[in-house]
């Protein structure tokens, strides 16, 4: 009976994958690999390419990691190694509470608070950066930068919590041995501790990446939702609006009427599911490697 219950979850995943594949088959047959390599989304002429959404998803997610990882790792190290118990427990609870906030709330906060602040920031950056393409375009506040900042806030509790837990798995004997050799507290943290859990921290970062790839509502509200991408990296700007795969689904699926348009949106969902599964599988494997090292050290 327990075996049957355990099979339910992977069975649901297989059924979901098959359903998406069957619904996306007309688009696969019509466009093939060009669906992933072109950036034309034209429901009028039934021609679809999703490269612009893949580009926006990758850029916003990597920007979120660039902003969130230093803050998350610093917070995790402080909570696990430096903070006193009376401060560590309530601060850990508050950090984890960020994960409980609905994404629509982050989206509303982004519209009314973050976007006006980013508009001022973009004006200031353009005043001092000159004609750099990376900071070109009208300072509207909405765009890839706003999406990256929102995602960074949303993935911060995930990376922090997992990193804190893997840091706590470091055997006390390793800390004591380093202190016995005359190491300072910072040398112990950056040496025996961070080297021991580096694969687990990498797994936490990839888990955060998986969360960023699939986020929908908050990003949809601040990214601008324009189906374009730069012709080359020389023309890329962080201030330009864009699209992500989840925001494309959220915006277009309710209005899709043609069979090929619906099939194209389903294929977008299928690609997103595949990417998310791969990213989370890599993260789990890295975290399991830390657990394996911990068991071997205990033995």
Tell me the whole-structure pTM to 2 decimals.
0.87
146-173, pLDDT tens digit by residue? 999 999 999 999 999 999 988 888 888 8
d(CA 83, CA 197): 19
Which residues, in sequence order, are CB contacts of 197 under 8 Å at separation 6+? Answer: 163, 166, 167, 169, 170, 290
176-198, pLDDT tens digit by residue? 888 888 888 888 888 888 888 88
Indicate the DSSP class of residue 130.
Answer: T
d(CA 64, CA 209): 8
Say what the pLDDT of residue 295 is: 55
Q: Write out the H or E segment, with its range, that includes residue 47.
A: strand 47-48
**Fold annotation for 51-258+269-298:** MetI-like fold (1.10.3720)
106-161, pLDDT tens digit by residue? 999 999 999 999 999 988 888 887 677 788 888 888 899 999 999 999 999 999 99
Token pair of 196, please?
């021991």
Q: Write out the H or E segment, with its range, that includes residue 84.
A: none
pLDDT at 233 over 70: no
């Amino acid at each position: 009976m327990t075996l049957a219950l355990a099979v339910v979850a992977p069975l649901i995943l297989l059924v979901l994958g098959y359903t998406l594949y069957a619904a996306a088959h007309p688009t696969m047959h019509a466009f093939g690999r060009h669906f992933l390599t072109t950036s034309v989304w034209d429901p009028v002429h039934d021609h679809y390419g999703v490269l612009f959404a893949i580009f926006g998803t990758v850029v916003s997610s990597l920007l979120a990691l660039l902003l969130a990882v230093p803050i998350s790792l610093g917070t995790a190290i402080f909570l696990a190694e430096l903070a006193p118990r009376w401060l560590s427990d309530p601060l850990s609870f508050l950090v984890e509470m960020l994960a409980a906030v609905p994404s629509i709330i982050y989206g509303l906060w982004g519209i009314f608070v973050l976007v006006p602040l980013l508009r001022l920031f973009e004006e200031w950056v353009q005043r001092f950066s000159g004609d750099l393409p990376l900071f070109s375009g009208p300072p509207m506040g909405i765009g890839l930068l706003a999406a990256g900042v929102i995602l960074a806030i949303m993935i911060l509790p995930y990376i922090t919590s997992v990193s804190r837990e893997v840091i706590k798995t470091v055997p006390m004997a390793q800390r004591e041995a380093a202190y016995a050799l005359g190491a300072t507290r910072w040398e112990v943290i950056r040496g025996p501790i961070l080297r021991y859990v580096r694969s687990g921290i990498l797994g936490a970062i990839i888990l955060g990446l998986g969360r960023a790839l699939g986020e929908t509502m908050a990003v949809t509200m601040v990214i601008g939702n324009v189906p374009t991408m730069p012709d080359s990296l020389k023309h890329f700007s962080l201030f330009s609006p864009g699209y992500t795969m989840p925001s494309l689904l959220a915006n277009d699926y309710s209005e899709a009427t043609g069979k090929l348009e619906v099939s194209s949106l389903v294929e977008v969902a299928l690609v997103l599911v595949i990417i998310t599964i791969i990213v989370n599988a890599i993260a789990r494997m890295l975290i399991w490697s830390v657990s394996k090292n911990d068991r071997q050290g205990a033995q």
